[in-house]
Amino acid sequence: MRYLILIALNLPIIFIAIINLITKHKLGKIQKNRFRFRMFFWCFLLIFIVLSFPAYNMVYNRPILDAVDLSLFDIFQTTGIIFLLYALINQRQKTEQNEIYLRDLHQEISILLSENAKK
């Protein structure tokens, strides 16, 4: 049951991150290489969370969904780490977008000032 709680708490965060990533890619706000890397990261994290605990139990010949070793602290800690990763990556994307916007504005202002100086 604890394993299912772990999955239920983390799947929405990972799916939101993937949907957010696809949306930014479709809007052209993220480069193709960065999109691929981040998509790989979130898919790998999803697969890791879903398969790691059953694989651990299979190695020790326990029932696949036996969650004796999984405490509630572990569940909330894992969920917290994944949420912080999502928040960190999302804030980094926003910062990069703002830097690009600011650079473009600076370039336009420089062009306008040089045109005004010539007149």
Q: What is the pLDDT of residues 10-55, one digit of tens each?
A: 999 999 999 999 999 999 888 899 999 999 999 999 999 888 888 8
pLDDT of residue 88: 95
91-109 pLDDT, tens per residue?
998 998 899 999 999 999 9
Domain ranges in the chain are: 2-94
Contact criterion met (CB below 8 Å) for 103 and 35: no
Give 87's pLDDT tier (boundaries 50, 70, 90): very high
pLDDT of residue 117: 85
Give 66's pLDDT tier (boundaries 50, 70, 90): confident
pLDDT of residue 69: 74
**Structure tokens of 116?**
């005004």
Instruction: Quote the pTM value.
Output: 0.78
A 10 A CB-CB count for 82 gives 20
Q: Which helix (H) or strand (E) holds 26?
A: helix 2-26
